[in-house]
Amino acid sequence: MNEALTVALGDRAYPIHFTDSKAALRQCVAELKEAKREIRVLTDANLHKCQSDYLQAVGFAKEEILSLPAGEPTKSIESYAETLRCLAHENLNRDSALFAFGGGVIGDLAGFVAASYLRGIDFYQIPTSLLAMVDSSVGGKTGINLPEGKNLVGAFWQPKAVFIDTGLLQSLPTREFAAGMAEIVKYGLLADRTLFEELESLGAPNPESKALPAIIRRCCEIKAHIVVNDETETAASGGRALLNLGHTFAHAIENAAGYGDYLHGEAVAIGLVLATQLSVNLGQLEVAWTDRVIELLQANALPVRLKSALTISDLVTAMQRDKKNRSGNLRFVTLKAAGEAITTDGVETALIEALWQGVGAA
């Protein structure tokens, strides 16, 4: 468990550090400073307040920390521009480096800033949420939201390293931890039935669960394998798009509800229910899996229906902006079997509308 996992992208390969991550991070920061390279850390106000000692312990100075408001609305053009201007104002050059210290919002935003500032500077991921540890910190997808849709602006920009310290989960709110479990369930469904069944037997893990580090590592292994084989999501079928199981529905929920009403993982949980039901309706998956998915999500305090009614027309409109779509047609990730996902085109709109209605849309 102490060995780093490598994302094998040739000359852009990078390590994901696990149980030795704090020491590895401290060494990384020290080496950058010894080389006289400017560094900055992008974080959010909540983390800055409760984890300032951690940042100091690994070598960051107070003046190197940039703090933004917490929450999904921060993943915006306004915050992107503010961060770029801050780097420019402080005269950071092309050999500088940007660290993302936060969950998916900060990681995606920092990565996009790094990808575009001076046409690209190094960046490093220090995920602090379960969701970021198992998913968004790995693979180089960066970006921001538009009012029209989730992650519509961004770039593929791989980090130089990822430092996963599960000790940071101790300060994570219970709701945020549950949101991360949705992505773990996703990995079991799309690529590892054994993982899904392990989650069923565990019930509801918590930050102190002995099984959690191995589960996090397994999710990173799955993602690294998929990313290496289809880094920029160009495969005609399957490929990196499979990582979006449930996300066509989830992104539509986030957009239609207004960013911030649902945590990303909460929307993903409902999306996984809908993706499973879609797979059953298409004759790809046994009907019993719908109940199994719902029961596992509920065991982890995740929603399986909308909190309040959203308009079906708004949800379908949001889905039509999904990045996986091809030639104007909706494209879904569905389940051929538990642990085996595929991409599916040509789904009738009437079926999608009926599925939305089944989870409380109107």
Active site residues: 119, 141, 183, 223, 233, 240, 244, 247, 251, 264
- Dmax (CA) for the chain in angstroms is 61
If you ran DSSP here, which 8-state letter would residue 329 be given? B
CA distance 134 to 251: 18
Among 322, 305, 318, 317, CA closest to 361: 305
SS3 216: helix
Counting Cβ atoms within 10 Å, is residue 238 exposed (0-12), middle (13-18) or buried (19+)?
A: middle
Can you name the residues that pair with 162 across neighbouring β-strands?
Answer: 16, 125
Would residue 297 be called left, alpha or beta, if left means φ above 0 and alpha means ψ between -120 and 50 degrees? alpha
Q: What is the number of other CB atoms lying within 10 angstroms of the CB of residue 9?
A: 15
| Cβ(19)–Cβ(164) below 8 Å | no
Handedness of CA 235, 182, 135, 324 (dihedral sign): positive
Q: Given strand 162-163, what is the order of strands in its sheet?
A: 5-7, 14-17, 162-163, 122-127, 97-102, 39-44, 65-68
Bridge partners, 143 (sequence order): 154
Burial of 348 (0-12, 13-18, 19+ CB in 10 A): exposed
